[in-house]
Amino acid sequence: EILLTPDSQPKVMTDCYTLIEQEISDKSGVSGTAVKLAYKTVTSFAPGYYHGMVEDLLPQIVGKLEPYWADFSTSGGSEFGDYLAKRGEEVSEALLSVTDAAAAASERPTIIKAYRTVRGSAARHVEAALPRVGDLVLKYAP
pLDDT digits (tens, 9 = 90+) for 78-93: 899 999 999 999 999 9
Question: Are 94 and 25 in contact, with CB atoms under 8 Å apart?
Answer: no
What phi, psi does 47 have (nearest 5°)? Answer: -55, 140
pLDDT band of 142, cuts 50, 70, 90: confident
How do the domains of the chain map onto residue ranges? 2-140
DSSP the chain: -GGGSTTTHHHHHHHHHHHHHHHHHH--HHHHHHHHHHHHHHHHHSTTHHHHHHHHHHHHHHHHHHHHHHHHHHHT-S-HHHHHHHTHHHHHHHHHHHHHHHHHH---HHHHHHHHHHHHHHHHHHHHHHHHHHHHHHHH--
Average pLDDT, the chain: 89
For residue 79, what pLDDT is reported?
93
Question: Are 84 and 130 in contact, with CB atoms under 8 Å apart?
Answer: yes
pLDDT digits (tens, 9 = 90+) for 26-67: 888 887 888 888 888 878 877 887 888 899 999 999 999 999
Q: How far, CA to CA in Å, does 58 sit from each of 34, 42, 51, 99? A: 24, 19, 10, 11
